Chain A
Amino acid sequence: MKQVFSIVAGACLCWLATPAHAQFPLSTVDQAAADRGAKLYSTNCARCHGDDARGTPNGPDMTRSEAVLHDRRESLHGKELGPLLYTLPGHSYHFSDAQLNDLSNFLDFQIGKVLRSGYNDQPQDLLSGNAKAGEAYFNGAGTCTQCHSPTGNLKGVASKYTVAALQQKWIFPGVGFGVKLRRQASVTTPGGQTYAGDVVRIDDFNVTVRGKDGVSRTFSRTPGTKVAVTDPFAGHNALLRKYTDADIHNVTAYLETLK
Chain B
Amino acid sequence: MKRLISTAALLLSATCLLAQTPINSNDPHDTTKPAPSAVRPPLQQAAPTSASTVPAGLAEGQWPTYNGDLTGRRFSPLTKINTQSVDKLQLAWTFRIDTTTGGGRRISATPLELDGVLYFTVPSHAWAVDARTGTKLWQFDWKSAGGETIGNRGAAIRGNTLYFETEDCHLIAIDIATGKERWHVDIGDPAARDKFNFGSVPPTIVKNHVMVGISGDDFDQPGFVEAHDPDTGALQWRWYTHPNPGDPEAKTWPSTEAMMHGGGTTWIPGTYDPDLNLYFFGTGNAQPVINGEARPGDNLYTGTICALNPDTGKLVWYFQPNPHDTHDWDAVETPILIDGTVNGQKRKLLAQASRNGWYFLLDRTTGKAVVTTPFASQNWTTGVNSNGQPIPNPEKYAEPNGTLVSPNQGGAANWFPPSYNPQTGLFYVPAQDAFSMYYVYDNSKKPEGWAGNDRGGYAQLALRALDYRTGKLKWQHEWPSGSARSGILNTAGGVLFTGDPVSSLVAFNASTGNILWHAGLGNPVTNGPITYVLDGQQYLVAAAGDTLYGFVLPEPVRTAQLKSKQASE
Quick check: is A104 within 8 A (CB to CB) of the other chain? no
| CB <8 Å contact, B401 and A123 | yes
Q: How far is the CA of A171 from the CA of B402 in the complex (A)?
A: 11
Are A115's CB and B404's CB within 8 A?
no
Using known A-B contacts A24-B148, A204-B518, determine if residue A172 contacts B458 with beta carbons closer than 8 Å.
Answer: yes
Q: Contact mask B409-429 → A, CB, 8 Å, 1/0?
A: 110000000000000000000
**Does residue B567 face the partner (Cβ distance < 8 Å to A)?**
no
Contact of B11 among A57, A60, A125, A175 (CB under 8 A): A60
- Is A136 located at the chain interface by the 8 A CB criterion? no
Contact assessment for B401 and A125 in the assembled complex, using a CB-CB cutoff below 8 Å: yes
B11 close to A67 (CB less than 8 A): yes
Q: Among the listed B19, B21, B456, which residue makes an inter-chain contact with A60, where contact means beta carbons less than 8 Å apart? A: B19
In the assembly, what is the distance between CA of A73 and CA of B518, in Å?
46
Please give, as numbers and ranges, the residues of chain A lying within 8 Å of B150 by CB-CB distance.
20-21, 23
Distance in angstroms from B60 CB to nearest chain A CB is 34
Assembly CA distance A237 to B404 (angstroms): 12
Interface size on A, residues (CB 8 A): 68
Please measure, in the bound complex, the distance between the C-alpha atom of A66 and the C-alpha atom of B399, giving whole angstroms.
Answer: 31
Contact partners of B10 in chain A: CB under 8 A: 65-67
When chains A and B are docked, how far (Å) is the Cα of A81 from the Cα of B403?
42
Contact B406 A114 (CB under 8 A): no
Nearest CB of chain A from residue B416's CB, rounded to whole Å: 13
Per the 8 Å Cβ criterion, residues 1-30 of A in contact with B are 17-26
Interface residues of B toward A: which range? 35 or more
**Are B19 and A24 in contact, CB atoms less than 8 angstroms apart?**
no
Kindly specify which of B314-322, B332-340, B446-454, B553-561 makes contact with the partner chain.
B446-454
Contact of A176 among B148, B443, B456, B500 (CB under 8 A): B456
Nearest-Cβ distance from residue A62 to partner chain B, whole angstroms:
9
Q: Name A89's contact: one of B12, B103, B195, B395 (CB within 8 Å).
A: B12
Check: B457 CB closer than 8 A to any chain A CB.
Answer: yes
User: Which of these, B4, B149, B449, contacts A80 with CB under 8 Å?
Assistant: B4
B19 close to A175 (CB less than 8 A): no
Q: Is the CB of A61 within 8 A of B16?
A: yes
B13→A60 contact, CB < 8 A: yes
Judge if A235 is at the interface, Cβ distance under 8 Å: no
Name the A residues within 8 Å of B16 (CB-CB): 55, 60-61, 64
Q: How far is the CA of A168 from the CA of B437 in the complex (A)?
A: 8
Contact A167 B406 (CB under 8 A): no
Whether A203 lies near B500 (C-beta < 8 A) is yes
Segment among B25-33, B176-184, B475-483 that sits at the interface with chain A? B475-483
Shortest CB-to-CB span from A20 to chain B, Å, is 7
Q: Complex: how many Å from CA A87 to CA B11? A: 11
Closest A residue to B477 by CB, please name it: A204
Interface string of A49-85 (1 = CB under 8 A from B): 0001011011111011111011001100000100110
Contact with A along B1-30 (1 / 0, CB 8 A): 001100110111111100101000000000
Query: In angstroms, how far is the closest chain B Cβ from the Cβ of A64?
Result: 6
7 A-B interface contacts by CB (under 8 A): A17-B453, A25-B146, A60-B11, A67-B8, A80-B7, A123-B441, A248-B402
> Other than the known A125-B401, A203-B481, what 11 A-B pairs have Cβ atoms closer than 8 Å?
A18-B409, A69-B196, A69-B219, A70-B3, A80-B7, A84-B8, A121-B453, A122-B441, A123-B402, A203-B503, A204-B506
Give chain B's interface residues, CB within 8 Å of chain A.
Answer: 3-4, 7-8, 10-16, 19, 21, 102-103, 145-150, 190, 193-196, 218-220, 257, 261, 289, 328, 377, 379, 395, 399-404, 406, 409-410, 435-437, 439, 441-444, 446, 448-451, 453-458, 479-482, 500, 502-504, 506, 515, 518, 520
